[in-house]
Structure 1
Amino acid sequence: MTLSKKQGAGTDQQALLDAQLQLWHHTIAFVKSMALKAAVDLRIADAIHLHGGSATLSQIVTKVTLHPSKIPCLRRLMRVLTLTGVFSVNSGAVVDEPVYGLTPASRLLVGPGLNQTPFLTLMLSTFFVSSFLGLDEWFQHETGPSPFELANGRDIWTLSGHDASFGFIMDVVVKECGDVFRGVGSLVDVAGGLGGATQTIAKAFPDVACSVLDLSHVVANAPTDTTVKYIAGDMFESIPSANVVFLKV
């Protein structure tokens, strides 16, 4: 009986430790995502690729923008990225100089084809990450904006249209759904704001005559260093003629 009680107590303690470990995994899981974001932003995969697919830390440093004082921190970052399978690591010929290589995952961050960099940049951006930080507040209201709107003040398409730097959303659209724009002669982006989305389309398909329709006070602030034509007007009154009307809802 005493032995049985001890075994039961041991089982309960192990279950408690397993439960605690599970919570800790969930709590610090964001570290893996943020490490991946840093790798994408620093273009570490490109740096390794430029060295033939494998590189030491000192070789990686020559290809990325990094302050010299942060080199020890880069080693720690690479440790996270190798443990999570983004990169591989092997012992190098020089003591304490590991050699990092590309894995099937990090090969998707270099070159053309199935490059996932635009998608990862989008999903790991502050715009999207901040949306999840306010989920508790969003659940406390019966109606209202989406979590994205609550965090950023605008829906994703409005933000894309008014912030040209947010055009990487359209990078993903053009990459994944670019066939819909092929053969199109002209396109008008209705309520397109400052044309962040349209500029991406115009850059990817220079043969498409792209224009943006929005209210006069919006068009007044439109950029001038672009091939996109900006038209002041109200879409409820008239829409300029074009092969394609681009309306984001």
Structure 2
Amino acid sequence: MDSNGELARAHADLWKHLFGFLPSAALNCLIELGVPDLIQNHGKPMTVSEIVGELSITNPIKTCCLGSMMDILAHSGFLSREAKGVEDEDIAYSLTTASRLLLKDEPLNLRQFVFYLLGKILAGPWPLLGQWLKNDTPTVFETCYGIPFWELATKSDFGPLFNEAMAVDSRLIGEILVNECKAAFEGLASIVDVAGGTGTLATIIAKNFPTIKCKVFDLPHVVAGLQNNKNLEFIGGDMFEEIPHVHVALLKNILHDWSDEKCIMILKKCKEAISEGEEKSGKVMVIEMVKREDDTVDYQLVRVRLAMDVHMTSCVNGMERNEKEWAHLFFAAGFTTYKITPMSGLISLIELFP
């Protein structure tokens, strides 16, 4: 080290990384306590003393800790912090656009997605990353639990939580999709949402484009008991075996779950589905993240994409991909052309043509 100042900065930087988990822990805690809803219902910014009064928290140490968690989230921009006076107890907190996504009554709220990602099951494997990198187990998830991610998702209470998390994510992405990519749906006769879960995205498409016949295709246990309607049909099956014949096959955040080999298998099944039905001019619509060389322009998005890559590779042996990596899959599966349309936020719509 060149100086005491450099040494001190390095020490502080280390501490920053060591406690990097605490903003997520604070976020999870405040949602469990219903703090965003308390602030919303209060109608104006709330002080910590007002919040602990509503929560019936009387221990001064716990009150202090809650205040520190509020400050952590305010520092990251998740809450807004303003001074109402000169004393610490005069600091009041209000919601931002991001924290409004955690309100129970917000139609596009992501509460279940937060509980899924920050819950005990997904948090459990992370301390074992080093052990996993040196052992022969396929995923860190299996290192922790002894079974693959997808098996646990079908044999425990984790499955419903996973489905609910994917549903709320699809609800938000679906609204962006139909507002920003309307042209991609023009003239479509039928569409199948492959591995479409409980049908949230397909329902949004059916509502916004009532002339399109929508199908949801997922494993039988996922769609069991779900009711069809005049414009929406649920079909059980395995995407690695056969996909129902339609005009368009839709894959939202599916391919990043799988290796290149598995992705090519899925895409080939999609190509068969759009080539053998009544419509011969079909396409595949892929909604995924596309890593870009200019990602460094937005530091926060870079962090999210890097974190997602670690999550996908270590938990399910999937990955996030750049355009070159996506193109390799598309051409290997037999598609001749593709078109990428960036959408607001992290994702893009990729249209594949036979």
TM-score (norm 2): 0.47
What is the CA–CA distance in structure 2 between the aligned matches of 1:186 and 1:34, rounded to whole Å?
A: 35
Distance 1:180 1:26, change over 3 A: same
- CA–CA distance in 2 between the matches of 1:72 and 1:13? 32
Aligned-partner Cα distance in 1 for 2:216–2:70: 46
Instruction: Identify which range, 131-140 or 74-83, moves more after superposition.
Output: 74-83
Aligned with 2:96 (options 88, 103, 117): 103
Alignment partner of 1:80 is 2:100: no
Gaps of 5+ in 1: 1-8, 210-241
RMSD between aligned alpha carbons? 3.3
Map 1:1-249 → 2, pairs under 5 A: 11-61=2-52, 63-64=54-55, 67-69=57-59, 70-92=62-84, 96-110=89-103, 111-141=105-135, 143-164=136-157, 166-177=159-170, 178-180=200-202, 189-190=219-220, 192=221, 207-208=227-228, 243-247=234-238
Match of 2:333 in 1: none
SS of the equivalent of 1:167 reads helix
Question: How far 1:208 moved relative to its partner?
Answer: 4.4
What SS class does the counterpart of residue 105 from structure 1 fall into? helix
Distance 1:125 1:198, change over 3 A: farther
Instruction: From the superposition, tell whether residues 14 and 67 of structure 1 become closer, same or farther in structure 2 (CA, over 3 Å).
Output: closer
Amino acid at match of 1:179: L
Shift in Å, 1:135? 0.5
State how far apart, in whole Å, the 2-side matches of 1:83 and 1:184 are: 44
Q: Deviations over 1:82-129 (max 9, x none)?
A: 222221222336952432111222122124344222222221112122
Verify the 8 A CA contact 1:157 1:248 in the aligned structure 2. Answer: no
Q: 1:49 to 1:30 in 2, by over 3 A?
A: same
Contact 1:131 1:148 in 2 (8 A): yes
Q: Is contact 1:92–1:98 with CA below 8 Å preserved after alignment?
A: yes
Q: SS in structure 1 opposite 2:227?
A: coil
Letter of the 2:227 counterpart: D
Deviates more, 1:115-124 or 1:160-169: 160-169
Secondary structure at the counterpart of residue 244 of structure 1: strand
Code of the aligned partner of 1:157: W
| Identity within the alignment, % | 23
The gaps in structure 2 that reach 5 residues or longer are 171-199, 207-212, 241-354
Q: 1:115 and 1:58 mapped to 2: Cα distance? A: 27
Structure of larger gyration radius: 1
Deviation at 1:170, TM superposition (A): 0.7
Q: Is the 8 A contact 1:36 1:81 kept in 2?
A: yes
Q: What is the CA-CA distance between 1:45 and the residue it aligns to?
A: 0.9
Q: 2 CA distance for matches of 1:208 and 1:114?
A: 23
For the residues of structure 2 that align with 1:30 and 1:150, how far apart are their CA atoms?
21
The 1:243–1:104 alpha-carbon spacing in structure 2 relative to 1, beyond 3 Å, is closer
Larger relative contact order (C-alpha < 8 A, sep ≥ 6)?
Answer: 1
Aligned to 1:232: none
The corresponding residue for 1:224 is none
Over 3 Å counting, the alpha-carbon distance change for 1:99 and 1:14 in structure 2 is closer
CA 1:16–1:94 in 2, change beyond 3 Å: closer, same or farther?
closer
- 1:166-206 deviation digits (Å, cap 9, x = unpaired): 5221112223342236677998844x4xxxx558xx6xxx5
8 A contact 1:53–1:102 mirrored in 2? no
Query: 1: distance between equivalents of 2:76 and 2:139?
Result: 32
Return the TM-score normalized by structure 1: 0.64
In 1: Cα distance, 2:148 partner to 2:52 partner: 38
